[in-house]
Amino acid sequence: MFTFSETDHVFSSRRCVWVNGPVIVGAGPSGLAVAAGLKENGVPYVILERADCIASLWQKRTYDRLKLHLPKKFCQLPKFPFPDHYPEYPNRKQFINYLESYAKNFDINPHFNECVQSAKYDEPCGLWRVKTVKNGSEIEYICQWLVVATGENAERVVPEIDGLKEFKGEVIHACDYKSGENYRGKNVLVVGCGNSGMEVSLDLCNHNANPSMVVRSSIHVLPREVFGKSTFELAMMMLKWLPLWLVDKMMLVFAWMVLGNTENYGLKRPVIGPLALKNSQGKTPVLDIGALERIRSGEIRVVPGVKRLSSCGVVEFVDGEKMDVDAVVLATGYKSNVPYWLQESEFFCKNGFPKAPFGNGWKGNGGLYAIGFSRKGLAGASAEAVKISQDIAKVWKDDLKKKKQKVPTHRRCISTF
């Protein structure tokens, strides 16, 4: 077991830092899980995080009422189970506490407030050059491996809606929504009907606001549990024995038994089944935790796509109906930010996701790795973390044996900067 401290494995100059191991970009659950795996294997690393804390998505960009929507056993990171006293669906605070303990347990100390601006593979040297900015000055990290862990939800998606910029009421994205407390008695237009749109609408109801939720296309709503068992868990069990199309059909029968016909409430179902849709288009089904009941009772209005907003607070829908609104919450989803900083086009697509089909895009060429882009949530990230850390550890240990016998060529290469 190696006992490198950070100063041992980082060779610094004024603007160049040699990292004797991988650079991990992002200290969310994915980045933390890879760091823990590397630590277990004695591989030194540097983890760079743009925010001032770990798991910034969970700490800064989620609402108060958020709970994990899958049972805890599917959300824990490798080699560190949730505490026994945690409920089946831990809330946001519990999950953050768990991640803090995880970082402490594996002695993970990210470099905070360092946003990666660019990363490029230096072909002649066979090394990655990763540039960050901290307090206005640039730092360049040079390393053999680059682990991209910036997440599927790195940046908000803000749609082009006619009149949105001129609208005088409050407009926020769901990532800035905390609770319905400030919206009591107000008419709130929630644009989007994914898990965020549904839960924000439910929260607004609970705070006596009047939410109208925009549903412009179709959506699969499934109960979070069927017969007291997690729907997700049930689907995973059935997939071991049955083909996906059949599991999809059974999911829809269960949904119909528990929730009734959601089309009666304006929620048209996609033609493709929920699992097939997730696998082919990455579109997550909504796991209902009470919003449907409020739609049924009329407390959440389902409205069609928005045609335009007026500055005086009137929204016009595509069917010509009009309505007064005081505030707008854009629950319109998120996107990857990889194309903004990673100068690479072989492994990643233009949309910032790996080109390989879901689940297979964890390893590229030249020491490039990606984690948390398989649209399989925390369970997917955990599995990838194990593969990535073991893969790097194997090469690192072999390299170490060789380096003991001769001066490393990489050091010679960067000393010319």
Distance CA 330, CA 143 (A): 39
> Which residue has tokens 């682990």?
147
Which two tokens mark 53?
A: 């804390």
Which two tokens mark 239?
A: 């997939």
Told to check if 214 binds ligand FAD by CB under 6 A, we report no
How many CB atoms are closer than 10 A to CB 147? Answer: 28
CB of 205 to ligand FAD, least distance (A): 18
Residue of closest CB approach to ligand NAP: 194
* 227 CA to centre of own chain: 29
Choose among ligand NAP, ligand FAD, none what residue 331 binds, the Cβ cut-off being 5 to 8 Å by kind: ligand NAP
* 43 CA to centre of own chain: 26
Told to check if 154 binds ligand FAD by CB under 6 A, we report yes
How many CB atoms are closer than 10 A to CB 343? Answer: 10
Residue of closest CB approach to ligand FAD: 28
Contact (Cβ atoms closer than 8 angstroms) between residue 247 and residue 275: yes
Told to check if 201 binds ligand FAD by CB under 6 A, we report no
> Which residue has tokens 């191991």?
21
Told to check if 153 binds ligand FAD by CB under 6 A, we report yes
Choose among ligand NAP, ligand FAD, none what residue 193 binds, the Cβ cut-off being 5 to 8 Å by kind: ligand NAP
Contact (Cβ atoms closer than 8 angstroms) between residue 161 and residue 167: no
Nearer residue to ligand NAP within complex by CB, 278 or 410: 278
CB of 132 to ligand FAD, least distance (A): 7
**Could you tell me the CA-to-CA distances from 330 to 205, 290, 356 in Å, in that order?**
17, 20, 30
Nearer residue to ligand FAD within complex by CB, 36 or 315: 36
CB of 124 to ligand FAD, least distance (A): 25
Among 50, 173, 278, 410, binds ligand FAD (CB under 6 A): 50
Choose among ligand NAP, ligand FAD, none what residue 26 binds, the Cβ cut-off being 5 to 8 Å by kind: ligand FAD
Nearer residue to ligand FAD within complex by CB, 68 or 190: 68
Nearer residue to ligand NAP within complex by CB, 121 or 177: 177
Told to check if 238 binds ligand FAD by CB under 6 A, we report no
Which two tokens mark 190?
A: 């929630």
How many CB atoms are closer than 10 A to CB 213? Answer: 27
Torsion sign across C-alpha atoms 337, 371, 366, 1: positive
Find the part of the chain contacting ligand FAD (CB under 6 A) among 14-22, 123-131, 148-156, 245-253: 148-156
Radius of gyration over every alpha carbon of the chain, rounded to an integer in angstroms: 23
Find the part of the chain contacting ligand FAD (CB under 6 A) among 25-33, 209-217, 345-353, 399-407: 25-33
Among 81, 83, 243, 305, binds ligand NAP (CB under 6 A): 305
Distance CA 403, CA 407 (A): 6
Which two tokens mark 360?
A: 């297979």
Distance CA 256, CA 231 (A): 13
Nearer residue to ligand FAD within complex by CB, 49 or 288: 49
Nearest C-alpha neighbor of 178 from the set 286, 98, 82, 93: 93
Told to check if 307 binds ligand NAP by CB under 6 A, we report no
Which residues make up the interface to ligand FAD (CB under 6 A)?
25-31, 48-51, 55-57, 62, 66, 68-70, 75, 115-116, 149-154, 196, 337, 341, 372, 377-378, 381
* Residues in contact with ligand NAP by the rule CB under 6 A: 66-69, 153, 159, 174, 191-197, 199, 214, 216-217, 284, 305, 331-334
